[in-house]
Chain A
Amino acid sequence: MQPKTPSNPGRRKFLVAATSIVGTGAVIGAAIPFVSAFNPSAQAKAAGAPTKVDISKLNKGEMMLVEWRGIPIYIVRHTKESLESLNKNLSRLSDPNSEKDQQPDYAKNPYRSRREEIVVLEAVCTHLSCAPKFYPELGVTDFDSNWQGGFFCPCHGSTFDLAGRVYSGVPAPTNLPVPPHYYASEDVLVIGEDEEVT
């Protein structure tokens, strides 16, 4: 039979507290490897090498699709009309001046790119990461009665203009991200770095 009250309550209390603290420390320590193993591995981190693209074959008004870090990247060469259309819908865009941090500084301009006639976008809808579709045609579409050309996400109906700026009143909260990019020469676009690394 155990006595109802411990003979030395102060010592008991101290031992319970001390064991609990040490035990908690041990649990936290043991959790570190299990939690850390969830992080991207060194291999996954190394997979982010830049992608080089030859854009000489990209005609005006066309889009090409390349892959960078497993993400689809859209490259569009503007026509004269499509460049002008970028100014026509400003009131319907939720961030027309690219205030939110979705692009490198050199792309914080009306065409959101280094070069006026070429736009480079991560084709990852800022809503739930579907790849938006390229709709360059103007006029009436299923989702817009006065469409100025741009991208439409088939998953949840978000719309973006040709510079990847999001329309207001759609589920996507921000503009499509512009990846870091630069031109190694007239026809070679490098995606994944802001400038040549020597």
Chain B
Amino acid sequence: MFTRLLNWVDDRFPLTDTFERHLSKYPAPIGQNFWYLAGVLLIVVLVIQLISGIWLLMNYEATDEGAFASIQYIMRDVDYGWIIRYMHTTGSSLFFLLIYLHMFRGLLYGSYQKPRELLWVLGWLTYIILVAEGFTGYVLPWGQMSFWAAQVILSLIGSIPIFGEELLTWIRGDYLISGITLSRLFAFHVVLLPLALIAVVFVHIVALHEVGSNNPEGIDIKNHLDEDGVPLDSVPFFPYDVVKDLFAIGIFLIIFCFILFFFPDGGGYLIEYINYEEANNLKTPEHIVPAWYYTPYYAMLRAITFPIGPLTAKFLGFVVMGGAMVIIAFVPWLDKSPVKSIRYKGVYSKVALFTLVVSFIVLGYLGMVTPNPLRTLMAQVFTALYFLYFILMPFYTKYEGCKEVPERIKV
């Protein structure tokens, strides 16, 4: 009976074929470690965000009069509304934490090298969409931080020479940040960007399954196949990797719930306290800080205090901030190394990656604290180091001594 039903479907839709290609016969390399869990956990968080987001949408009101009150309504009057909102706020921070770990994994094991260039670029695109999604979502509660974050970030567009001011008015739909701006950011946050995110994530996974997963050794498992054409150093994704991933998801959900139940504000990092005050267009808070996952870029923005020729410091800060995100997409073509994994790369690559991580963390800290001359100088130094990782990559990867990569993965 079941076989007949399956045959009926298979004649009309490639069900068995898809299941085998992407799950039961998808060859997962052996020896994948902790870093390879971030990808599947990102999918889990995406689902959490979609579901909690839909439920929030049922009670949220996207107007300047009603937005702040509707969040309080969700928190106090809707049954379990508080937990649904905390899921969404906690989820957003973990989304960024995981995507940073996922990107670090890519840099660590050279997961962007041929033939995975497009895979990397698609992943980068999901990150950019996520940045936009995070920003638009941050504005929606219409607290003081929401309002002034929108004010500061959208003002950057106004720094573009010649047509910046007109473009800014066009994007705001008003001469200042208002309810009109709020409702269009809302439309982006709940329709446009999630649709784009889901589409690009889907294509990202299709691309992954076309070229196959990398591994910490950076060894191409397709070089050694058995008589059926299956890589020798692989196991079928289903059930082997699925079981491992379920275990990881279990641990992840325990951590998630722990934050949800005991530290939903995250000490002011997951939900900033100033945002408990309603948006006031006449009063700037003492200290404006973006969400923690943007602070490295915010520090770079503030680090540019000098104009160059006709370009204002403000515009250059905007360019540097944007450039810091865009340059990540070019890594596949900047890395000239004959080996993939950091395990077989030379000492320069190790120093460079370490410097990048330190710079990103220090900048993240500097973006959270008030600027003073020393901190501005530090931000300038670490911004330079951040960019040097990318700009010097063609040289240090080319002229360093690499270790020989073994033929097979040893476990």
Task: Give A residues with C-beta under 8 Å from B.
Answer: 38-41, 44, 48, 65, 67, 69-72, 123, 127-133, 153-157, 169-173
Contact = CB atoms under 8 A, between A and B. Distances in A.
Nearest to B150: A129
B341 to A, nearest CB: 41
B184 A38 contact: yes
Given A38-B171, A41-B180, A128-B152, A173 B283 contact: no
B313 interface: yes
Nearest to A130: B284
B281 A70 contact: yes
Nearest to B168: A129
5 closest cross-chain pairs (CB), A and B: A131-B284, A72-B282, A129-B155, A130-B284, A70-B176
B226 interface: no
Given A69-B176, A154-B285, 10 more contacts: A40-B174, A65-B282, A72-B281, A123-B282, A127-B155, A129-B151, A130-B151, A154-B286, A157-B370, A173-B307
8 contacts: A44-B173, A71-B281, A127-B314, A154-B285, A154-B370, A157-B371, A170-B305, A172-B314
Given A41-B180, A70-B281, A171 B314 contact: yes
A26 to B, nearest CB: 22
A71 B151 CA distance: 12
Nearest to A131: B284
Interface of B: 148, 151-152, 155-156, 158, 169-176, 178, 180, 184, 281-288, 302, 305, 307, 312-314, 317, 370-372
Contact of B305 (A67, A131, A169): A169
A131 B287 contact: no
B305 A130 contact: no
State the majority secondary structure of interface residues on A: loop
Contacts of A39: 169-170, 173
B288 A155 contact: yes
A13 to B, nearest CB: 32
Contacts of A169: 305
Contact of A131 (B282, B302, B371): B282
A70 B371 CA distance: 28
B314 A128 contact: yes
Given A40-B175, A44-B173, A173-B312, A128 B305 contact: no
A111 to B, nearest CB: 24
A173 B313 contact: yes
Identify the interface centre among A40, A48, A133: most chain B CB within 10 Å of its CB: A40
Nearest to A66: B282
A39 B170 CA distance: 5
B382 to A, nearest CB: 17
A154 B144 CA distance: 14
A154 B287 contact: yes
Contacts of B156: 128
